[in-house]
Amino acid sequence: MSLLVIGTVAFDAIETPFGKTDKIVGGAASYISLAASYFYNHINIVSVVGEDFSQDFLSILKKQGVNLDGLQIKKGEKSFFWAGKYHNDLNNRDTLDTQLNVLADFDPVVPASYQNCEFLMLGNLMPSLQLKVLAQLKTRPKLIVLDTMNFWMDIAMDDLKQVIAKIDVLTINDSEARQLSGEYSLVKAAQKILKMGPKTLIIKKGEHGALLFNKDEVFFAPALPLEDVFDPTGAGDSFAGGFIGYLAKTHDISFENMKRAIIYGSAMASFTVEKFGTERLIGLSKADVEERVQEFVDLVQFDIALV
Amino acid sequence: MSLLVIGTVAFDAIETPFGKTDKIVGGAASYISLAASYFYNHINIVSVVGEDFSQDFLSILKKQGVNLDGLQIKKGEKSFFWAGKYHNDLNNRDTLDTQLNVLADFDPVVPASYQNCEFLMLGNLMPSLQLKVLAQLKTRPKLIVLDTMNFWMDIAMDDLKQVIAKIDVLTINDSEARQLSGEYSLVKAAQKILKMGPKTLIIKKGEHGALLFNKDEVFFAPALPLEDVFDPTGAGDSFAGGFIGYLAKTHDISFENMKRAIIYGSAMASFTVEKFGTERLIGLSKADVEERVQEFVDLVQFDIALV
């Protein structure tokens, strides 16, 4: 009975129209496990960092109940580092620097204590590494969620399609859904992608919300209109973390419950973008989260009694 | 007790990635009054056409209960004509031809029988003409809704601001809200625009839905994910028509009822884009409209019981 999270734990340097940071903590698994930890406390991470990584951040994860037995700490090596600069619209960004460091020869190992996990979150990472993790699991999790990005579609589509064939829920953004399917209409794109393996598809549209599809149903979750999006880094990871954390907490993977999970995921993403990096995801109270979710409820609630 | 609609009744020639038309009926007032007529039957139009205009279409409007006493038909003149071509993403379009014809010296006259209207829809038109109509009304309508576009912000901002100061509800799209306010954040844009006059602002985001703001509240209405958007022409006008038609029918201009009205407006827009021009807005049944609205309810309905 646990949630296994695979993904990067890393450093980022970020520039947005509102400011810039030095090296701060980032990485898909960092955001995912932080966001999920507000709902669920049996979280296990498989990842890799260098000796230079922030001990403070690892302490924070542990305090949130995240198990780090599967986090490899490479002596004398440096953590994965990404630097990027967002355009004024915050929807596009340029990569300024990528230093793979420990990620270059990362060989993920799932500890014995992590076996029999019920929920698996494959955070954005090389598809070949995601496949390696899947191959090590002795029992298939109840639910496998995959997050990926256009980068892997460009350079590792065959591997990525192998992963996609093995999962239950895929989360990608709208342009990635179009790239993966070759369809401009998101409805048609969803129909094609659902034939590639996953039973459920989430198309993230950033400030425009998210769509949840299965073969027969569709649900739309709005994004909260914010005065300012300060730094979009990690929004998708936080969304995925809130989503799977809520599902793990409630032990219910029905479409109805996924609707709720998407709202919780959207709420976690709405926190993340308010400050740089993981800062806003640290130290939230239960009341903070519920208040935010209530804002989503208020935002879309209407009553139409059709006769 | 009536709804007064001002706007163009005209010809369009449209090219989309899915096909092209010869001259077909278009114009803001055509879409608005058709969409509104599914909810309300005391609709009066003030507009102008040439002798060349479609008698068939005027008959359709009359059958839908639309009063044409204020429609000037100019002998020996030609109707306003616009030709445009949409880009592949359907979000952008190029104007290929604009022939003002009867619109060049249009002098709107509100017939005596149109006075004391409760609801006024100022469809997209030169702001100076919208002002002329307002000046002719002997009593202020209960609700004045204005639709406009970036074109008037570019060439007639002073006139437009005069109109905006006199109305209750403004409907514009997201880039127009940014242009009008000078704010990128739509939340900040809304705050600024609500200080220019209107108590309520609707920001239309096309395939991404619409936001409804007043000073203290915000509501988000999704757009229906469609397999294909065939022709977006008239979507905004149909939205406005459904919105004000529903408000006129229900005689309730509270924020709560505007939420419902936006869903009805979105439903009417979702019909319009399925075919060229006004075609899909003709001959709908009450059941068609209610089924479509039910799709919106299903799309965003979730239950989260916060404790």
Q: What are B187-241's pLDDT values in tens digits?
A: 999 999 999 999 999 999 998 999 999 999 999 999 999 888 889 999 999 999 9
Q: Residue A69 — pLDDT band, cuts 50, 70, 90?
A: very high
Q: Is the pLDDT of residue A306 over 70?
A: no
Of all residues in chain A, the one with the smallest CA distance to B206 is A208
Instruction: Choose among B124, B235, B131, B126: nearest CA to B170.
Output: B124
- Are the beta carbons of A259 and B297 separated by less than 8 Å? no
Share of chain B above pLDDT 70, in %: 99
- Are the beta carbons of B300 and A220 separated by less than 8 Å? yes
User: How is residue B229 annotated by DSSP?
Assistant: -
Tokens encoding A145: 């969620």
> Looking at the complex, does the CB of residue B104 fall below 8 Å from at least one CB of chain A?
no
**What is d(CA B94, CA B235) in angstroms, rounded to the nearest whole number?**
17
- Are the beta carbons of A300 and B300 separated by less than 8 Å? yes
Of all residues in chain A, the one with the smallest CA distance to B203 is A225
Contacts of B187 in chain A (CB under 8 A): 225-227
Distance from the B80 Cα atom to the nearest Cα atom in chain A, whole angstroms: 33
**Interface contacts A/B by beta carbons within 8 Å:** 90
Q: What is the reported pLDDT for A32?
A: 98
Q: Evaluate whether A19 touches A38 at the Cβ level (below 8 Å).
A: no
Share of chain A above pLDDT 90, in %: 92
Contacts of B258 in chain A (CB under 8 A): none
> Looking at the complex, does the CB of residue B161 fall below 8 Å from at least one CB of chain A?
no
Q: Give the number of other Cβ atoms within 10 Å of residue A99's Cβ.
A: 15
> Looking at the complex, does the CB of residue A302 fall below 8 Å from at least one CB of chain B?
yes
Mean pLDDT of all residues belonging to chain A: 96
Q: What is the reported pLDDT for B228?
A: 80
CATH class of B3-299: alpha beta
Q: Which of B208, B263, B306 sits opposite A290 (nearest CB)?
A: B306
Contacts of B297 in chain A (CB under 8 A): 304, 306
User: How is residue B71 annotated by DSSP?
Assistant: E
Q: What is the reported pLDDT for B306?
A: 63
What is the distance of C-alpha A26 from the center of its chain?
A: 12
- Are the beta carbons of A187 and B259 separated by less than 8 Å? no
Alpha helices in chain A (DSSP H): 28-36, 55-63, 127-136, 150-155, 157-164, 174-181, 186-193, 235-250, 255-272, 286-300
pTM of the model: 0.92
User: How is residue B222 annotated by DSSP?
Assistant: P
Q: Is the pLDDT of residue B105 over 60?
A: yes
Distance from the A283 Cα atom to the nearest Cα atom in chain B, whole angstroms: 20
Q: Is the pLDDT of residue B123 over 70?
A: yes
Could you tell me the CATH superfamily of domain A3-300? Ribokinase (3.40.1190.20)
Q: Which residues contact A252 (CB under 8 A, 6 or more apart)?
A: none
Of all residues in chain A, the one with the smallest CA distance to B291 is A306
Q: Residue A283: phi, psi to the nearest 5?
A: 80, 20
Q: Which residues contact A63 (CB under 8 A, 6 or more apart)?
A: none
Q: What's the rounded mean pLDDT across residues B63-72?
A: 97
Of all residues in chain A, the one with the smallest CA distance to B228 is A185
Q: Residue B284 — pLDDT band, cuts 50, 70, 90?
A: very high
Q: Which amino acid is at B250?
A: T
Identify which has the larger pLDDT, B92 or B85: B85
Q: Evaluate whether B229 touches B207 at the Cβ level (below 8 Å).
A: yes
> Looking at the complex, does the CB of residue A260 fall below 8 Å from at least one CB of chain B?
yes
- Are the beta carbons of B263 and A304 separated by less than 8 Å? yes
Q: What is the reported pLDDT for A268?
A: 98
Q: What's the rounded mean pLDDT across residues B237-261?
A: 97
Instruction: Choose among A27, A30, A25: nearest CA to A43.
Output: A30
Q: What is the reported pLDDT for B160?
A: 98
> Looking at the complex, does the CB of residue B100 fall below 8 Å from at least one CB of chain A?
no
- Residue A70's SS3 state is strand
Tokens encoding A113: 């204590």
Q: Residue A108 — pLDDT band, cuts 50, 70, 90?
A: very high
Q: Which of B188, B229, B259 sits opposite A302 (nearest CB)?
A: B259
Q: What's the rounded mean pLDDT across residues B50-60?
A: 98
Q: Residue A29: phi, psi to the nearest 5?
A: -70, -30
Mean pLDDT of all residues belonging to chain B: 96
Interface mutation vs chain A, best among B192, B220, B229, B297, most A CBs within 10 Å = B220
- Residue A225's SS3 state is coil
Contacts of B88 in chain A (CB under 8 A): 184
* Low-confidence winner among A75-84, A155-164, B178-187, B296-305 (lowest mean pLDDT): B296-305
> Looking at the complex, does the CB of residue A241 fall below 8 Å from at least one CB of chain B?
no
Share of chain B above pLDDT 90, in %: 92
Q: What is the pLDDT of residues B287-306, one digit of tens each?
A: 999 999 999 999 998 888 66
Distance from the A237 Cα atom to the nearest Cα atom in chain B, whole angstroms: 22
Distance from the B264 Cα atom to the nearest Cα atom in chain A, whole angstroms: 10
The answer for B 35-64 residues in CB contact with A (under 8 A) is none
The answer for A 162-221 residues in CB contact with B (under 8 A) is 184-188, 205, 208-209, 211, 218-221
Tokens encoding A247: 């599902």
Q: What is the pLDDT of residues A217-236, one digit of tens each?
A: 999 999 999 888 889 999 99
Q: What is the reported pLDDT for B296?
A: 94
> Looking at the complex, does the CB of residue A131 fall below 8 Å from at least one CB of chain B?
no
Give the ipTM. Answer: 0.87
Contacts of A216 in chain B (CB under 8 A): none
> Looking at the complex, does the CB of residue B287 fall below 8 Å from at least one CB of chain A?
no
Contacts of B246 in chain A (CB under 8 A): none
Instruction: Choose among B165, B262, B174, B167: nearest CA to B212.
Output: B262
Measured over the CA atoms of residue B163, residue B166, residue B170 and residue B176, the dihedral's sign is: positive
User: How is residue A185 annotated by DSSP?
Assistant: S
- Residue A102's SS3 state is helix
Q: Residue B132 — pLDDT band, cuts 50, 70, 90?
A: very high
- Are the beta carbons of B220 and A225 separated by less than 8 Å? yes
- Residue A170's SS3 state is strand
- Are the beta carbons of A300 and B211 separated by less than 8 Å? no
Q: Residue A116 — pLDDT band, cuts 50, 70, 90?
A: very high
